[in-house]
Structure 1
Amino acid sequence: MNNANWLITDNGSRWKHNTAFENWLSFKADDSEFWKRLYVGYYKLIDHKFYVNGMKLINRELEKQKKFGGGRALPASNQYLTRDMVYSLHRFGAMFDEYFMFKFYQLNAIGRETFICDKYRFEYYRTLNKAENRIIFDNKGKTFELFGKFYKRDFLAVESENDFKTFAAFIAKHPTFVIKPLDSSGGRGVRKVTLNKENEVSDFFSKEFKKGCFAVEEIIQQAPEMAILHPASINTVRVCTIICKSGIKIFAPFLRVGRGGAIIDNAFAGGLGVTVAPDTGILCSYAQSESGEVFRYHPDTGVPFVGFQLPDWDNAIALSKKLAVIVQSNRCIGWDLAYTSDGWIMVEGNCRGQFVVQQYPDGIGKKKELLEYIADI
């Protein structure tokens, strides 16, 4: 089957056969298990290979959820959940982990429709951002070239073996540093490293460059006001800006907090997400992990989440808006910010960031708000 009428993600995965018949069938499936079975069967028929691979992913997700639940029973039978997850993927664009993070098994079609699900994320970003600008944010070296003055720390992109001398000079100045793949996201591959001996530097460089291009950064010195939450990690705020006709809007900011001594705060490493009130910078939800754990207090430090005031919030917003206008043809960017003794600094920017943590800590879908901003661009 060719890709005519299919919605396709940026990585080439087709997920919705966007025809009048499919849409009619999907709406019928909203209120009827009979029609839902037919809807799932439709996808099994028209793209059997995709369906079979999807079953493997669903089974893996169900096993993961059983593990997350400590052996507790799933919210419904495997048969029902499998059917409902396939339906939710093609009807709402929900990834299989999102199905559980957004608690779709508790919601009807109206409730599910309020969430921004991952597959539709690509459609929204194609409207909001220019594809040719993607390299600016996907490559950390390119990001630094444009936004380096807002980092307020030393940074080096290593893209060639000829960069060794510069790398050695960087290590001489910062023997303890952070390393990350040049094109990674979600905190994957981020490590804190210390090199004290000259021969270590050469061996380390050779070993790392064989894996691919990478970046090294000076360690961010987090201010006590944020370190109190979890000192081992840099606890960052994601502030998403959307450039509209009526001005720059702040969309669904959230805080990420590490735990268990981890140096990063990302969800895949066990980090916690917390909703931030955009007008005040006050945390307004309990913290939640990707696996569905909910915390009123930080599990390591005991700091309560609800009511915690992020420091100097007005300047966090001001910095985000200043960053937003540098590449104005990218109307929607998620800015990761850290708070230091010098105030808020930029960690990185995201032009295709997921909308997951914006929604699961408080359990409120943000699609209506996003579509209102898109209508104003």
Structure 2
Amino acid sequence: MFKRLLYFFYYLKKSDWKLLGRFLGYASEKSGRSRPCIIFDSIFSVFRYNISFKDYYCFRFYDKPRSEREEWAGTGFMYEYQLRMNPKGSRELLENKVQFLNHYKLLVKRMFLHISGFSSDSVELNEMLRKSERLVLKGSRGQVGKEVEVISSGTYTPQKLLDYMKQHHYDLVEEFVIQHNDLNELSPSGLNTIRIITQTDKNEVIFLAARLRISVNSPVDNMGAGNIAAPVDLKTGIVTGPGVFSDITRDSASVHPVTGIKIEGFRIPHWERVLELAGTAAQNASGNRSVGWDIAVTEEGVELIEGNHNWCKLLWQLPVNRGLKADLMGFK
């Protein structure tokens, strides 16, 4: 109970109260329950189900019986689980994008450079500017789509790019990955990646889930940036449901909100190679046993983008509209 009390005060400090206020009004309107009743229930749920205030609304607990609430994996539970599966001493591989790219260089086809490794007369930088029409600038420790910017390489000289990166605190530049035409037709605004969640148990790689992350007028595809995610059948690579937002006030999308392309039934190209890549990455994760892998699909094949030790519980559960905590309970 003491640990959950600490979590409670953490949520009080870190929550986006403007967002939660909007969610509260929506939940009250949809459920017919008073706002004070929902607030009290959310506080109770933080302690009873080991969730955050935001989880309460995203999981729609205001409309769920207590028996069903037990099935959902919330923030507190996932923090503890992922800490056991991916100890702090092992996480640097996944937190540091430069270390990650070097470790998995055999699975990464795109060019990349760390700012410490080039100057304005760098041969590699000049080649990257010449070869790729667009470049991706990143902070090597940025997460959830933050510290990411896509630029047009034609407007930059090597020195101008170096100055721009220093000014905006970017320390990593990557060649832009051109996605498969099918995915580009679905949503051309950003790179739409597949999230494969793996669990290593007794040297066996288990595939827990697959989700298609779909950009909506955004250069990134993270749900937290206002984009959508859809469930994918692990056997076939076919999307099995509509795209969902983490914003509870927005309806699920059976077709893409901008392009109008149907989401359910969409077939992800090169599916067997997607799974093969995720499995290979998981086998070489250096002590990280439960990882969410982001994989891009191109015309030529597949490309490993990054791995996440703190993979998102919302991306995992919301697209299938059910709690999946039981899927993790057997792993020690």
- Report the TM-score when normalising by structure 1: 0.79
Equivalent residue, structure 2, for 1:110: 67
Secondary structure in structure 1 of the residue aligned to 2:166: helix
> Quick check: 1:141 aligned with 2:98?
yes
For structure 1, the residue ranges without an aligned partner over 5 or more in a row are 17-49
Q: Shift in Å at residue 159 of structure 1?
A: 4.3
Alignment equivalent of 2:188, drawn from 231, 236, 242: 231
Query: Closer, same or farther in 2 for the Cα pair 1:157/1:55, shift >3 Å?
Result: closer
- Amino acid corresponding to residue 331 of structure 1 in structure 2: R
Equivalent residue, structure 1, for 2:283: 325
Equivalent residue, structure 1, for 2:84: 127
Q: Is the 1:58–1:96 contact (alpha carbons within 8 Å) kept by the matching residues of 2?
A: no
> Quick check: 1:263 aligned with 2:255?
no
Query: Closer, same or farther in 2 for the Cα pair 1:297/1:158, shift >3 Å?
Result: same
Distance 2:199 2:292 in 1: 9
Q: Shift in Å at residue 328 of structure 1?
A: 4.5
Alignment equivalent of 2:3, drawn from 7, 22, 32: 7
Query: Closer, same or farther in 2 for the Cα pair 1:189/1:110, shift >3 Å?
Result: same
> Quick check: 1:188 aligned with 2:184?
no
Q: Shift in Å at residue 225 of structure 1?
A: 2.3
Distance 1:88 1:186 in 2: 26
Secondary structure in structure 2 of the residue aligned to 1:289: coil
Equivalent residue, structure 1, for 2:108: 151
Distance 1:113 1:163 in 2: 54
Distance 2:169 2:40 in 1: 41
Equivalent residue, structure 2, for 1:41: none
Q: Is the 2:20–2:54 contact (alpha carbons within 8 Å) kept by the matching residues of 1?
A: no
Q: Shift in Å at residue 94 of structure 1?
A: 1.9
* Pairing 1:172-321 to 2, within 5 Å after superposition: 172-174=130-132, 176-196=134-154, 201-245=158-202, 247-260=204-217, 262-292=218-248, 293-321=251-279
Distance 1:225 1:137 in 2: 29
- Post-superposition CA distance 1:225-284 (Å, at most 9, x none): 222211222111000111112721101211100113x22211132210101122222211
Aligned residues: 327
* Pairing 1:8-27 to 2, within 5 Å after superposition: 14-15=6-7
Q: Shift in Å at residue 56 of structure 1?
A: 9.1
Q: Is the 1:237–1:338 contact (alpha carbons within 8 Å) kept by the matching residues of 2?
A: yes
Q: Shift in Å at residue 313 of structure 1?
A: 1.5
- Amino acid corresponding to residue 315 of structure 2 in structure 1: V
- Amino acid corresponding to residue 348 of structure 1 in structure 2: E
Q: Is the 2:195–2:292 contact (alpha carbons within 8 Å) kept by the matching residues of 1?
A: yes
Q: Is the 2:199–2:208 contact (alpha carbons within 8 Å) kept by the matching residues of 1?
A: yes
Secondary structure in structure 2 of the residue aligned to 1:254: strand
Percent of aligned pairs with the same amino acid: 24
Distance 2:35 2:13 in 1: 11
Q: Is the 1:187–1:266 contact (alpha carbons within 8 Å) kept by the matching residues of 2?
A: yes
Equivalent residue, structure 2, for 1:39: none
**RMSD value over aligned CA atoms?**
2.7
Distance 1:302 1:72 in 2: 31
Q: Is the 1:243–1:328 contact (alpha carbons within 8 Å) kept by the matching residues of 2?
A: no
- Amino acid corresponding to residue 3 of structure 2 in structure 1: L
Distance 2:35 2:138 in 1: 39
Query: Closer, same or farther in 2 for the Cα pair 1:58/1:183, shift >3 Å?
Result: closer
- Amino acid corresponding to residue 221 of structure 2 in structure 1: D
Secondary structure in structure 2 of the residue aligned to 1:294: coil
Q: Is the 1:66–1:74 contact (alpha carbons within 8 Å) kept by the matching residues of 2?
A: no
- Post-superposition CA distance 1:151-195 (Å, at most 9, x none): 2111112247x6554474343544521111111111112211124
Distance 1:58 1:186 in 2: 16
Q: Shift in Å at residue 197 of structure 1?
A: 5.5
Distance 1:294 1:226 in 2: 19
Equivalent residue, structure 2, for 1:371: 329
Secondary structure in structure 2 of the residue aligned to 1:235: coil
- Report the TM-score when normalising by structure 2: 0.89
Equivalent residue, structure 1, for 2:36: 79
> Quick check: 1:352 aligned with 2:310?
yes
Distance 1:72 1:295 in 2: 23
Distance 2:320 2:280 in 1: 28
> Quick check: 1:64 aligned with 2:56?
no
Secondary structure in structure 2 of the residue aligned to 1:217: strand
- Post-superposition CA distance 1:38-78 (Å, at most 9, x none): xxxxxxxxxxxx39x828947423333278x5x99353322
Report which of the two structures shows the higher radius of gyration computed on alpha carbons: 1
